[in-house]
Chains A and B, each alone.
Chain A
């Protein structure tokens, strides 16, 4: 447990000493600020007619999904591949720490930084609350959805980072896989009409989940889905790290 904690703190610190992290933070805030401003101005336009669920606008667009894939990729690409490339993995894995502890420690650091990225955006809700009535349920749901999606995407990123020595390759693979899977599921969902297929695809359709989340609905089936998927990817990542020994 001590070893996991030490790894977690080191990784978290590593984010804050690298210029990349600040660049990402700035970019992220400007980007989200722009989306927020756009959504507010659209909703303020008397011709738009308003919407029942304003969170849809904020958390459902193409721009939201792309930035989500991008941020999680950037946050994870370095995590393990850098250790493999520099060779620091050797002193790390000869310390009293297991592969699982390394993977989980690094993953939690990425997740913490990811959450920290989103914290300032709560201000948007605060701004809106000053001028009009805010329904906090869907907002909490939306943030919870963002947390779940991010946690899932980060676990995918950690896996690819453990598979290669090259940060760039890890980044490309993570990004491509996330975007491909995301849109493929959405596409298939629209393509099939069968009862069973619809149900199965609905279960894995991340767009669908997010839609429910920002209606303020938190379905326990989704929690099981995210939990097991994250577990699965992190498990694979720790196996990939172990596998290095046998090659």
Chain B
């Protein structure tokens, strides 16, 4: 159980984190998303007690982090973004040292190390010197360190960075397994990872929480009307008008697939796929493609964290910043979204350069 109350952190005049509150329940995997420099790592460092907050409070497993720091840290496992180990030590030696540092004694130490080695698949490098093993293995040694003392709360900052696709899959499996037994806070850049693993997500931007919810609810509340991708053979001339006339269709845009390809913007509750099919059959059009465009979390992320507005959308700038700051309450979210939808309509299809770098997708 992690609770953060109104956490703020300033570095001189710069406010890195500004009034962030959230809670992660037992057996929950909470994802933390945000562009570079949004304050994710600072937030995580405050939760792990590495940085004290300028204001606010953290409780872990019901205990205040500030009042009993060493006690609280016993229940906490942490994998930092930059895993720094002692390069001159051997893997097993390092894990034994960490186990003792965590206060384990006698037989517990060996058992804990054996278990962590097995879970993080470190058997083959067990006796190697840390300085000589690959980045992927070092990352896993870091993860083994975090779970050694079987903490009730696990905080992982970008755990799959630097791993190859096969390792990523196995580490994700491990994370899911670990999340079943404890509270897990996962910070990541990799959006599919959030969708795969997290029960709930918070999106942090400019030091504030921009949105919070399950990946599903975020998608629904933050992305515009659902779209339908339709491709007709030979691009029949009356197609746009006919499609626009169907029940539940709000607008028709030309799609990315060239002539004959359309994107229908549909009413939220409607599913006009059947009507599209019938309309095509009635007129003898050949339907090459009919697919729902699933709004991705990536889109939500880009919308929430993109601040540089396209030049033509002069008026949209205030609406977008309103969306970022007023996202906490559901009512404000809906309103901001409506105002922003037009301006961001085109921008959302291809990630904005500012946030594009953050949505890297492996394998």
The interface of chain A, by Cβ under 8 A from chain B, is 2-3, 5-7, 9-10, 13-14, 17-18, 86-98, 245-247
Contacts and interface: CB of A to CB of B under 8 A. Distances in A.
B86 A94 contact: no
Contact of B145 (A5, A14, A91, A97): A91
Contacts of B88: 14, 17-18
B102 A95 contact: yes
Contacts of A95: 73, 98, 101-102
B224 interface: no
Contact of B101 (A3, A17, A18, A246): A3
Given A87-B84, A245-B52, A246-B52, A94 B78 contact: yes
A18 B89 CA distance: 10
A245 B50 contact: yes
27 contacts: A2-B103, A2-B105, A3-B100, A5-B100, A6-B97, A6-B101, A7-B101, A10-B86, A10-B97, A14-B86, A14-B88, A17-B88, A17-B89, A87-B80, A88-B85, A90-B80, A90-B82, A91-B84, A94-B48, A94-B49, A94-B80, A96-B70, A96-B74, A96-B101, A96-B103, A245-B50, A245-B52
B61 to A, nearest CB: 13
Given A10-B89, A90-B78, 9 more contacts: A2-B100, A10-B97, A88-B84, A88-B86, A90-B80, A90-B82, A95-B73, A95-B98, A98-B70
B80 A3 contact: no
B100 A6 contact: yes
A94 B100 contact: no
Interface in B128-143: 142
Interface string B67-93: 001110110101010111110110001
B35 to A, nearest CB: 22
B256 interface: no
A87 B81 CA distance: 10
B291 interface: no
A92 B142 CA distance: 12
B51 interface: yes
Contacts of A89: 84
Interface of B: 11, 45, 48-52, 69-71, 73-74, 76, 78, 80, 82-86, 88-89, 93, 97-98, 100-103, 105, 142, 145
B71 A96 contact: yes
Contacts of B70: 96-98
Contacts of A96: 70-71, 73-74, 101-103
A31 B25 CA distance: 63
B284 to A, nearest CB: 67
Q: Which of A14, A96, A245 has the most chain B CB within a 10 Å cutoff? A: A96
A17 B86 CA distance: 12
A103 B253 CA distance: 66
Contact of A3 (B48, B51, B84, B103): B103
A93 B48 CA distance: 9
Nearest to B48: A94
Contacts of B93: 13
B81 to A, nearest CB: 9
A181 to B, nearest CB: 32
Q: Which 7 A-B pairs have the closest CB atoms?
A: A87-B84, A6-B100, A88-B84, A96-B73, A86-B84, A96-B70, A6-B101
Contacts of A86: 84
A244 to B, nearest CB: 9
Nearest to B47: A94
Contacts of A9: 97
Nearest to B74: A96
A168 to B, nearest CB: 18
Given A3-B103, A95-B73, A90 B84 contact: yes
